[in-house]
Amino acid sequence: MKVPFLDLKAHHEPIRNELTQAIGEVIEAGAFAGGPFVASFESDWAAYCDTRFAAGVGNGTDALWLSLLALGVGPGDEVITVPSTFIATAEAISYCGARPVFVDIEERTYTMDPGLLEGAITPRTRAIVPVHLFGQTADMDPILEIAQRHRLPVVEDACQAHGALYKARKAGSVGIAGCFSFYPGKNLGALGEAGAVVTNDADLDAKIKVLRDHGQARKYCHSLIGWNARMDGIQAAVLRVKLKRLEAANSGRRANALLYDELLGGNGIVIPYAAPYNRHIYHVYAVRVPERDRVIEALAGKGISCAIHYPGPVHRQEAYRSLGYGEGSFPVAERCAREFLSLPMYPELSREQVQSVARELKACLNAREPRGCAANSNEH
């Protein structure tokens, strides 16, 4: 059985007519850059996230970057985050002129280890950015306690956590700001690029909205040096349609994750750990397996597409060599990066598809010969 890693066609087909109508309304109104459709989505997204405000921006990287800029992060400053993330988290820090400082992740949740946080704080630290990886929030209470003691703002990288909960609080609503990406493959995905920042801080929201529009609060009156980071109207209209289905889609992901857990547990596979204080929404269902590269190749031979999030921690990327971190600097993140294997995960997966993925993965790992699981790879 062929199982794609992601099936956006299956995701969009049931709502194609509604999406077409929403796009048509934007075309009819001619409100393409910012405007009323963005404002309506901002209102809806803030309400969903249980925050007072939301600012639509061009993508998740913009959301992180503008949040840090609005908080005053600049050249010579340091911002603490984790190396187990997409590079955009670090890029946003760098484009403020600041230096990313990493702390390792917890072995089970793959999120920031609060026990290591305080040791990374220096007089130059200006913010902390925990990453809610794969759809599960970081352990925010101890992070916030440390941050408050040092008078540091906490910006949540919630780009993979649309609808995740931390102790009944929505991801993005716990720190001073929460940053989201609506890249097409996300739990809430646009038909292109889009992002948002949510916050309860009126001043921060206002500043981000000035920064995203060339530093102008009104046309041709530029109070700040900003950027073109506006959300476009078509993406906002699309996201409003899809937001109505987000809770149901997350429930579908959680059901598929539970089935994977039942089928894969106890087979030498490290399945995702959902902390009891969290609602994990499984943007990515990442297991850990030995000989990961061999396994992913073998599964591809069976028609099962998997992915790797992420094959190298940020501190080991060429772009960040100048930070001076070496092999072994963050052993948990490095070990996980060698073992992560992301299995197909989306609401439209059938029970039979999940069963097929689990069966082939176990067969591959149980094979005695190094390439035994790749034998007869054209059977299906």
Question: C-alpha 166: how far from its chain's center?
Answer: 15
For residue 167, how many other CB atoms are within 10 A of its CB?
14
Q: How long is the chain?
A: 380
**Under DSSP, is residue 154 helix (H, G, I), strand (E, B) or coil?**
strand
**For the segment 184-226, what is each residue's pLDDT rounded down to a tens digit?**
999 999 999 999 999 999 999 999 999 999 999 999 999 999 9
Q: What angle do CA 87, 88, 90 make, to 5 degrees?
A: 70
- On the CB side of 111, CA atoms within 13 Å amount to 28
Laid out side by side, the sheet with 155-157 consists of: 53-57, 195-199, 177-181, 155-157
Give the CA distances from residue 173 to residues 49, 72, 330, in Å, rounded to whole numbers and listed in that order.
Answer: 6, 20, 28
Q: Does domain 8-243 fall into CATH 3.40.640.10?
A: yes
What residue ranges do the domains of the chain occupy? 8-243, 247-374
How far apart CA 100 and CA 244 sit, in angstroms, is 36
pTM (two decimals): 0.95
pLDDT the model gives residue 143: 98
pLDDT the model gives residue 20: 98
Note down pLDDT in tens along the chain; length 380 residues: 999 999 999 999 999 999 999 999 999 999 999 999 999 999 999 999 999 999 999 999 999 999 999 999 999 999 999 999 999 999 999 999 999 999 999 999 999 999 999 999 999 999 999 999 999 999 999 999 999 999 999 999 999 999 999 999 999 999 999 999 999 999 999 999 999 999 999 999 999 999 999 999 999 999 999 999 999 999 999 999 999 999 999 999 999 999 999 999 887 899 999 999 999 999 999 999 999 999 999 999 999 999 999 999 999 999 999 999 999 999 999 999 999 999 999 999 999 999 999 999 999 998 844 444 543 333 33
Produce one character per residue of 42-78: b if its CB has 16 or more CB atoms within 10 Å, e if not: bebbbebbebebbbbbbbbbbbbbbbbbbbebeeebb
pLDDT the model gives residue 369: 44
Which residues make Cβ contacts (< 8 Å) with residue 20, sequence separation at least 6? none
pLDDT the model gives residue 265: 85
> Do 197 and 208 meet the contact criterion of CB atoms below 8 Å apart?
yes
Q: How many helices (H) and strands (E) does the chain have?
A: 13, 14
pLDDT the model gives residue 232: 97
| Sole residue written with tokens 């739990």 | 187
Q: Regarding the domain with residue range 247-374, which homologous superfamily does it belong to in the CATH classification?
A: Aspartate Aminotransferase, domain 1 (3.90.1150.10)
Which of 124, 83, 153, 138 has its CA nearest to residue 329?
A: 83
Strands 78-81 and 99-102: parallel
| Sole residue written with tokens 């699981």 | 373
